[in-house]
C-alpha cells in the first residue's frame, strides 16, 4: 500500500494506491482485505476492508471502507476469500 498524502497512516474513508492492477486480475468494485504480518510464521493480522475505485495496468486506487487499526505504508492487501 502506498499513501499519496502527507500522512503516514490513514483510516476509513481515505484512499491509497496498491501495486496490483489489470495485469493481476483486479476488478473495479472488488472488495479486498488489508493485513500485516506481525511476526514471521505467525497468523496474519487482518484489520481492514477496502474497495477498488480505479484500475490501471500495474496499479489500482483503493478506498478504505473500514479498519480496526491505522493503515500504514507497506501494509499488505489480498482478495477477499470466497466462502
CA 68, 47, 35, 41 dihedral sign is positive
| 7 CB neighbour count, 10 Å cutoff | 14
Q: Are 46 and 33 in contact (CB under 8 A)?
A: yes
Instruction: Give the DSSP H or E segment for 68.
Output: none
Q: What is the largest CA-CA distance in the chain?
A: 37
The 10s digit of each residue's pLDDT in 47-56 is: 999 999 999 9
Please tell me whether the overall predicted TM-score, pTM, comes out greater than 0.75 for this model: yes
CA-to-CA distance for 14 and 64, rounded, in angstroms?
Answer: 6
CA-to-CA distance for 21 and 30, rounded, in angstroms?
Answer: 12
The 10s digit of each residue's pLDDT in 20-65 is: 999 999 999 999 999 998 888 888 899 999 999 999 999 999 999 9
Please report where in the chains the cell 500485516 appears, as a residue. Answer: 36
Amino acid at each position: 500500500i502506498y499513501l499519496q498524502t502527507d500522512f503516514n497512516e490513514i483510516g476509513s474513508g481515505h484512499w491509497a494506491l496498491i501495486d496490483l492492477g489489470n495485469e493481476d486480475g483486479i476488478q473495479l468494485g472488488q472488495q479486498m482485505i488489508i493485513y500485516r504480518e506481525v511476526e514471521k510464521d505467525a497468523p496474519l493480522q487482518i484489520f481492514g476492508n477496502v474497495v477498488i475505485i480505479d484500475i490501471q495496468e500495474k496499479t489500482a486506487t483503493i478506498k478504505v471502507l473500514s479498519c480496526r487499526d491505522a493503515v500504514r505504508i507497506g501494509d499488505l492487501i489480498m482478495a477477499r476469500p470466497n466462502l
